[in-house]
Amino acid sequence: MIVTMSETVPGRDVADIIGTVKGNTVRTRFFGRDIMAALRNLVGGEVPEYTKLMAEAREQALDRMIADAQNKGADAVISMRVTTSMIMGGSAELLAYGTAVRLR
């Protein structure tokens, strides 16, 4: 499966546009991570506990988007984007979306 943020796949033509595909996940903070984050907040710098949490959530959203595209018979996803939004205090949604296409 080819996934690209561009509107085309170099060297390939789009034969069919299947439509929008997406994958999302909602993650919440974990109390143990919050304690470490609060301690790091005192001295500043990166909070690796949250960095890891967001990276895992991003990969899960991408995997779900790819599965959606494969289920619809796509060869590629073009114009892929990732967005995040806060659902409520302490939780966030990550959404990966794009246009599923069949290539020549």
* Mean pLDDT computed over 9-37: 85
pLDDT for 31: 59
Average pLDDT along the chain: 89
pLDDT for 36: 65
pLDDT of 33 above 70: no
Confidence at 35, pLDDT banded by 50, 70, 90: low
> Which phi and psi (to 5°) does residue 46 adopt?
-70, 150
Single-letter amino acid code for the residue at 11: G
**In angstroms, rounded to a whole number, what is the distance separating the alpha carbons of residues 22 and 9?**
19
**Can you give the residue ranges of every domain in the chain?**
2-28+55-103
> E strand or H helix at 100, and its extent?
strand 91-103
Fold entry, domain 2-28+55-103: Translation Initiation Factor IF3 (3.30.110)
Residue whose pair of structure tokens reads 């506990």 in the numeric block: 49
Instruction: Residue 23: count other Cβ atoms within 10 Å of its Cβ.
Output: 20
For residues 21 and 68, the answer to whether their CB atoms sit within 8 Å is: yes
57 - beta bridge partners?
none
* Mean pLDDT computed over 83-94: 86
For residues 94 and 25, the answer to whether their CB atoms sit within 8 Å is: yes
